[in-house]
Amino acid sequence: MLVKWIRCTVVDRRGFERGQRKWAGLLGEPGFRGQGGGWSRQRAGVAHTFAFWESRAFYDSFMARSHDRLAASQAGTFKDQQVRLFEYRFDVKTGFEPRFTDSDLVRVAHCRVREDRVEHFTLMQEKVWNPAMAGSPGMIRGMFAEAPANEFMILSMWRAAAEHGKYRTERVERLALRAQTETDITALTGDIVELEPSWIV
């Protein structure tokens, strides 16, 4: 499964949200699995969208045919767009599916990992981080995905902000030490995204 992560700074909120609803046109596209997104809780005016495709081939076909028509309605409503593509590797918790209707919040972590530490980083994700997140009340599902050049994305869906907040304060520092995260990564960025129900496709 291919994951497309789009982040941008919105300059015309009403126009952007109107255009966002036009992405309902993705339904019926061959290989399309689902899309959701919302507003950053940490950076004013920053929007995130996550789209899921069965394979790179289906995605490339869509980009060549229908993408520009759907995107036209949002032209001029945002700036600083960053687009990244990742390949799904494994679930965080069990049974990941690209559904957004049962969660309020998405946490996205973007890691650049040292080449000689990729294997260790991946193993720690499976053995340390996954069980901790899966055991956290309010964490619904998540996934671990990879891009070329040792880039990784960890996406987790949460039922509510308060539950995610509890997980963060209680556990993250302890887990990071156990997983030797600082030794593995060269850069870590992320965001907490409040999902907008009207953006779900």
Distance CA 21, CA 19 (A): 5
Residue 44: the pLDDT is 96
Structure token digits, residue 141 = 């599902």
Which two tokens mark 41? Answer: 């809780």
Shortest CA distance to 71 belongs to which of 132, 40, 25?
25
Give CA angle at 92 (48, 154), nearest 5°. 35
One-letter amino acid for residue 49 of the chain: T
What per-residue confidence (pLDDT) applies to 171?
75
Lowest average pLDDT, out of 20-24, 68-72, 145-149, 164-168, goes to 164-168
Task: Kindly list the domain boundaries of the chain, sorted by start residue.
Answer: 2-199
Of 37-41, 81-85, 156-160, which gets the smallest average pLDDT?
156-160
Which pair of structure tokens corresponds to residue 43?
């950076």
Per the CB < 8 A criterion, the answer to whether 2 and 88 are in contact is: yes
The DSSP bridge partners found for residue 36 are 50
d(CA 67, CA 23): 9
Instruction: Please state which of the ranges 3-12, 32-41, 47-56, 156-165 shows the lowest mean pLDDT.
Output: 156-165
Where are any strands of DSSP class E within 2-104? Answer: 2-10, 32-40, 46-53, 78-92
User: Does 172 score more than 90 pLDDT?
Assistant: no
Task: Name the pTM for this structure.
Answer: 0.94
DSSP E strands in the chain: the ranges are 2-10, 32-40, 46-53, 78-92, 105-113, 139-147, 151-158, 185-195
Q: Using 50, 70 and 90 to split pLDDT, how confident is the model at 141?
A: very high
Q: Is domain 2-199 annotated with CATH 3.10.450.50? A: no
**Res. 169: pLDDT tops 80:** no
Report pLDDT digits (tens) over 66-121: 999 999 999 999 999 999 999 999 999 878 999 999 999 999 999 999 999 999 99
Q: Which of 2, 41, 8, 16 minimizes the C-alpha distance to 164?
A: 41
Q: Which positions ≥6 away from 57 have C-beta within 8 Å? A: 31
